[in-house]
A and B are shown apart, each in its own frame.
Chain A
Amino acid sequence: NAGVMQNPRHLVRRRGQEARLRCSPMKGHSHVYWYRQLPEEGLKFMVYLQKENIIDESGMPKERFSAEFPKEGPSILRIQQVVRGDSAAYFCASSPGLELPDTQYFGPGTRLTVL
C-alpha cells in the first residue's frame, strides 16, 4: 500500500520560471491538502482539494499560485514566475475524507530552490 507520493523531490528553478509540483494521494484517498514549510518553521496550510474541486484555497497566495486535482492523475501545485521567496518545502497530504476531522498522511515533500 503505497503512501503519498510527491515528485520531484527536489526542484531548482531560476527566477521567472514555472514550478510544477505533483502529488499522488494514498490509494482510496480522495482529499488532498498542500502545505508550505519555510526553514525552521511549521507547516502553513495552502489549499484543500477534492477530485475536480477546490474546497478551500484561503492559504494560497492570490497571484502566481494555482492548484488542481483532476479526475484522473495527480494533484498539481503550480507556481508561475517563481521568486526567491518561493523557496521552501512543499508537502502534500491526503486523507480518506470519511469524517471531519481526518488524519492526514504526508508525502515526502518537494524542496523548491529558486536561484
Chain B
Amino acid sequence: GQQVMQIPQYQHVQEGEDFTTYCNSSTTLSNIQWYKQRPGGHPVFLIQLVKSGEVKKQKRLTFQFGEAKKNSSLHITATQTTDVGTYFCAGFSSNDYKLSFGAGTTVTVRA
C-alpha cells in the first residue's frame, strides 16, 4: 500500500532561523495536503498542492510539490515561537479518498 514518509521526525530550531521538512511517497500522488497540529490539538488544514512542480506560499511558509508528484517540502523562514507544533503531510493516490499521513515533523523553537 501507499506509504508516506517524513523527515526529520524532530526539528529543533533557533528562533529566527529557517528550516525545511520533507515528505516522500512510495507511489505517485494525485495531490498532497499539509496540516499543522499544535500540542494537544487537532490537525488543521494548511494547504493543498495538485500540480507537478507547484509552489505555494503562505507568509513565511513555502510549500513545494515535486515534479514526479512523489515528494513535497515545507520551508519555514524566520521561525517564530508560534510555529511550534507537528507538521504532517498527507497524500491522496489517484481518485482515492483515503489520506495517507506521514508521521509528522515535530518542531520546537528556542527563543
Contact surface of A with B, Cβ cutoff 8 Å: 31, 33, 35, 40-45, 48, 55-56, 59, 91, 100-109
Contact at B33–A103, with CB atoms within 8 Å?
yes
Q: Is the CB of B101 within 8 A of A101?
A: no
Please judge, given known A-B contacts A42-B88, A42-B104, A43-B88, whether A104 and B42 are in contact too, CB under 8 Å.
Answer: no
Number of contacting residues on B, CB 8 A?
A: 26
B10 to chain A, nearest CB (A): 9
How many Cβ-Cβ contacts under 8 Å join chain A to chain B? Answer: 59
- The one of A41, A101, A104, A107 in contact with B30, judged by C-beta atoms closer than 8 angstroms, is A101
A101 contacts B92, CB within 8 Å?
A: yes
Contacts of A33 in B (CB 8 A): 97-99
In the assembled complex, 21 residue pairs joining A and B whose CB atoms fall closer than 8 Å, in A order, are A35-B101, A40-B106, A41-B103, A41-B104, A42-B4, A42-B102, A42-B103, A42-B104, A43-B99, A43-B101, A45-B100, A48-B98, A55-B97, A56-B98, A91-B43, A100-B97, A101-B92, A101-B95, A106-B44, A108-B42, A109-B42
A101-B96, A104-B99 known; 10 other A-B pairs, CB under 8 Å? Answer: A35-B101, A42-B101, A42-B103, A45-B99, A59-B98, A101-B31, A101-B99, A103-B48, A104-B45, A106-B42
Shortest distance from the beta carbon of A30 to any chain B beta carbon, whole Å: 13
- B→A interface (CB under 8 Å): 4, 6, 30-31, 33, 35, 41-45, 48, 88, 90, 92, 95-104, 106
Tell me if A102 and B97 are in contact (CB < 8 A). yes
Closest to A31 in B: B97
Chain B residue contacts of A107, Cβ below 8 A: 42
A-chain residues with CB within 8 Å of residue B88 when the two chains form the complex = 42-43
